[in-house]
Every structure is written in structure tokens, then in C-alpha cells.
């Protein structure tokens, strides 16, 4: 008589499962390798140097005081800061022309070879920060933007990567946060 032994279906199922798991694992691994190997590396173009000539509005917070002013800078290194608010300083204008300094208010003006304002005065701090960025001396790129030093004070500046426009200046040691808006 002929005797048929039972087929080892349990062993076949286990082997099939193992092969299926190996196949799926291999497929997933291959997919991950392809995705990692074929990923596009985004390369940024080198940042544009800071723009030397511009006009903008500046919204600043300086020692808790809200200040709004316009700032203009020419290629001849003439810088002008005109205060719009707070109300008691509205119309006050500070100008540096490379050779000297002038201050104007209500038709009156004072000029001198040097700026008589203290180093901690808002217009002086803003002017010096802009000059430090534009000089590009000791200006290094960081994750936060650009970093420079004003004496012993660290300055952070956000620059528009393609245009070199100053977008934001932060000087924590002097409690200054300023945003530059190019809508004038």
C-alpha cells in the first residue's frame, strides 16, 4: 500500500513568511538607500555683500522705547536718520557726511567735525551698527545671520541673501532690536 506522508505546511508557511519579511525588508532598505543617495543637495549662492546705498524705514525698540525713523545711506557714505516717533522727537534729523556731523530740528541746525552725542545715544548706535555691517570688517556668517563687533558689543544682522539689504539688527548688550523696512 502506498502511504502518503502529510505535507509539512507549517514549515512551508514559516519559510514563506521569512522570505516575505526578508523581501519587504530588502525592498525598504533599497528604497531608503535610493532616496538618500538621490537627494538633491541644496546649495546656496554666496551671500550678497551688504548694500552700500539704500533708503528704508526703521522700526526699533531701544531700552524699551519704541522708535520709528527713516534711514538713508548714499554711495558717498552720507547717512541720515530722521525721527518720526516718539512724538517729542518727531522731525529731529541726524546726518553724517563722512567729514562731519549735523543735527537739524525745526529749521535750526548744528554742525561739527565730530558727533557730540554720547556713544549710547540711539542715532549713534544705529549709525555705528550700519557702518560696522557696511565695512564688512570682522563680519562673519552665523546661523542667525551675520555677526560683527562694535567695540566689545556683539552685533547680529540679518541680511537679505540675494540683495544684501539689512533686514534686522540686534544688539542685546545695548537692548536694541531694529527692523528695516524697504517700503519708502
CATH number reported for the structural domain that contains residue 144 in this entry: 2.50.20.10
**d(C-alpha 122, C-alpha 71), whole Å:** 13
Range of the domain at 110: 54-181
Same domain for 171 and 101, yes or no, is yes
Higher pLDDT, 32 or 157: 157
Domain membership of residue 62 (yes or no) is yes
User: Under 8 Å CB-to-CB from 138, ≥6 apart: which residues?
Assistant: 132, 148, 149
Residues 122 and 156 in one domain: yes
- Identify which of 89, 69, 71, 68 has the alpha carbon closest to the alpha carbon of residue 80: 71
Asked if 79 and 59 sit in the same domain, the reply is yes
Is 41 or 141 the better-scoring residue by pLDDT? 141
Q: Based on the fold, state whether residues 88 and 156 are members of the same structural domain.
A: yes
d(CA 59, CA 26): 57
- What is the count of structural domains for the chain? 2
- Taking a C-beta distance cutoff of 8 angstroms, is the pair 158, 112 a contact? no
Q: Is the pLDDT of residue 19 over 90?
A: no
HSE-CB of 97 using CA atoms within 13 angstroms: 9
Of residues 184 and 178, which shows the higher confidence score?
178
pLDDT tens digits along 142-156:
776 777 777 667 788
Q: Is 49 within the bounds of a domain?
A: no
- State the CB neighbour count (10 A cutoff) for residue 115: 18
| Domain-embedded: residue 48 | no
Is 20 part of any domain?
yes
- The pLDDT score that the predictor gives to residue 144 is 65
138 neighbors 131 (Cβ within 8 angstroms):
no
> In this structure, how many other beta carbons lie within 10 angstroms of the beta carbon of residue 83?
21
Q: Is residue 2 part of a domain?
A: no
Q: Is residue 118 located within the same domain as residue 60?
A: yes
Question: Residue 142 has what pLDDT?
Answer: 75
pLDDT-above-90 percentage for the chain: 38
Looking at the fold, whether 91 and 146 belong to one and the same domain comes out as yes
Q: For residue 53, how many C-alpha atoms fall within 13 Å in the half-sphere facing its CB?
A: 3
Same domain, 61 and 28: no
CA distance 113 to 30: 72
Amino acid at each position: 500500500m502506498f502511504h502518503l506522508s502529510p505535507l509539512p505546511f507549517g514549515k512551508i508557511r514559516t519559510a514563506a513568511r521569512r522570505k516575505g519579511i526578508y523581501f519587504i525588508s530588502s525592498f525598504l532598505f533599497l528604497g531608503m538607500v535610493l532616496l538618500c543617495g538621490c537627494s538633491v543637495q541644496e546649495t546656496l549662492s554666496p551671500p550678497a555683500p551688504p548694500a552700500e546705498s539704500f533708503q528704508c524705514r526703521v522700526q526699533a525698540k531701544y531700552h524699551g522705547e519704541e522708535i520709528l525713523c527713516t534711514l538713508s545711506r548714499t554711495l558717498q557714505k552720507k547717512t541720515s536718520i530722521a525721527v518720526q516717533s516718539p512724538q517729542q522727537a518727531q522731525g529731529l534729523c541726524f546726518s553724517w557726511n563722512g567729514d562731519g556731523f549735523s543735527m537739524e530740528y525745526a529749521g535750526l541746525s548744528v554742525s561739527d567735525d565730530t558727533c557730540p552725542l554720547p556713544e549710547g545715544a540711539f542715532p549713534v548706535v544705529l549709525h555705528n551698527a550700519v557702518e560696522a555691517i557696511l565695512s564688512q570688517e570682522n563680519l562673519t556668517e552665523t546661523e542667525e545671520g551675520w555677526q560683527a563687533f562694535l567695540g566689545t558689543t556683539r552685533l547680529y544682522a540679518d541680511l537679505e541673501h540675494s540683495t544684501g539689504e539689512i533686514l534686522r539688527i540686534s544688539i542685546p548688550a545695548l537692548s536694541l532690536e531694529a527692523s528695516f523696512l524697504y517700503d519708502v
